């Protein structure tokens, strides 16, 4: 899938680990893990609004 | 936005904070690959900011029943139960008002604490963390020493008259919840077969 090859809103559903994109006039769903590189480019792009949950996550290692 | 920050005093020195779950998992993958230390395992946790979470590190059902009944009555707020690989997460079913959140977190360790005693109790907790922090600043700990030290913290907390919790709970989890004013629930798998199961 090419980076430019979509239009409209990208909706990420972390509960089902999928995201939907509007392409060719239809809304299509994709697996997040299978398309992580592509999705990261969308998220990193300032030009595109990505719908995210307003939540807080931590990445951490155990060290006491 | 991913932010790296250090927890004051004692705990994990590397934590990255983001509001994006996908990015959190991507970062974890990168850190696992980059890390030369194979014993270091990176995890993704979700912050719980609006209610109390109690962690139990054993599957002892009698212990679970005791804790669930005691704290449900104490808070007048029932707890959902999530079974994990090594124990349970008890998560309050209803949100707690902002004004009472920190008091509620402290009640896990000190169930008879009155609201008037909260400032004094928080100050004692802060002092406890400062002591741990000073120890870390004055000595370079090995991984093994750090693990040993973490096992001693619950006893030290009791000796300092800060822990009167019911049953066998993860006291460190409760302590860090007070310090950070939030709980972090691990949502990444430790192993391929690891699964979390909502049982109530």
Domain that holds residue B127: 3-190
Answer yes or no: is B196 within a domain.
Answer: no
Answer yes or no: is B47 within a domain.
Answer: yes
Structural domain total, chain B: 1
Answer yes or no: is B84 within a domain.
Answer: yes
* Single pTM value for the model: 0.79
> Nearest by CB to B47, which of A32, A39, A58?
A58
> Nearest by CB to B45, which of A36, A43, A60?
A60
Whether A57 and B45 have beta carbons less than 8 Å apart is answered as yes
Residue B135 pLDDT greater than 90, yes or no = no
- Specify the pLDDT at position B157: 94
Answer yes or no: is B67 within a domain.
Answer: yes
User: Quick check: B17 and A56 CB within 8 A?
Assistant: yes
Residue B153 pLDDT greater than 50, yes or no = yes
CB pairs under 8 A between A and B: 95
Residue B4 pLDDT greater than 70, yes or no = no
Residue B179 pLDDT greater than 80, yes or no = yes
> Does A52 lie at the interface with B, CB-CB under 8 angstroms?
yes
Answer yes or no: is B200 within a domain.
Answer: no
- Specify the pLDDT at position A54: 65
Tokens (6 digits) for B120: 């004094």
- Specify the pLDDT at position A5: 61
pLDDT digits (tens, 9 = 90+) for A30-40: 888 888 888 88
Answer yes or no: is B48 within a domain.
Answer: yes
- Specify the pLDDT at position B11: 44
The DSSP annotation for B30-44 comes to HHHHH-S-TT--EEE
Whether B22 and A32 have beta carbons less than 8 Å apart is answered as yes
Answer yes or no: is B199 within a domain.
Answer: no
Average pLDDT over residues B76-92: 91
User: Quick check: B24 and A59 CB within 8 A?
Assistant: yes
Interface pTM (ipTM) of the complex?
0.71
Q: Is the dihedral of CA B135, B179, B6, A37 positive or negative?
A: positive
Answer yes or no: is B128 within a domain.
Answer: yes
Higher local confidence (pLDDT), B188 or B88? B88
Query: At B161, phi and psi to the nearest 5?
Result: 60, 40
Highest mean pLDDT among A11-15, A24-28, B45-49, B149-153: B45-49
């Amino acid at each position: 899938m090419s980076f430019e090859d979509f239009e409209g809103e990208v909706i990420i559903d972390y509960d089902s680990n999928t995201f939907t994109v509007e392409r060719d006039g239809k809304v299509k769903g994709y697996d997040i893990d299978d398309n992580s590189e592509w999705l990261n480019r969308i998220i990193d792009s300032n030009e595109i609004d990505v719908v995210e949950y307003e939540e807080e996550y931590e990445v951490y290692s155990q060290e006491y | 936005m991913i932010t790296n920050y250090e927890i004051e005093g004692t705990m994990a020195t590397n934590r990255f904070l983001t509001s994006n779950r996908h990015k959190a998992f991507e970062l974890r993958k990168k850190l696992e690959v980059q890390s030369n230390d194979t014993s270091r395992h990176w995890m993704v946790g979700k912050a719980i900011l609006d209610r109390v979470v109690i962690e139990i590190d054993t599957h002892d059902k009698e212990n679970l029943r005791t804790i669930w009944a005691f704290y449900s009555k104490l808070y007048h707020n029932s707890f959902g139960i999530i079974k994990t690989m090594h124990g349970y997460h008890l998560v309050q079913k209803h949100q707690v008002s902002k004004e009472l959140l920190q008091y509620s977190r402290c009640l896990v360790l000190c169930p008879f604490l009155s609201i008037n005693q909260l400032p004094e109790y928080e100050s004692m907790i802060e002092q406890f963390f400062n002591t741990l922090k000073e120890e870390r600043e004055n000595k370079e700990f090995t991984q093994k020493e750090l693990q040993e030290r973490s096992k001693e913290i619950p006893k030290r907390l009791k000796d300092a008259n800060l822990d009167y919790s019911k049953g066998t709970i993860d006291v460190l989890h409760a302590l860090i919840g007070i310090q950070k004013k939030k709980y972090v629930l691990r949502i990444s798998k430790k192993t391929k077969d690891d699964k979390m199961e909502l049982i109530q």
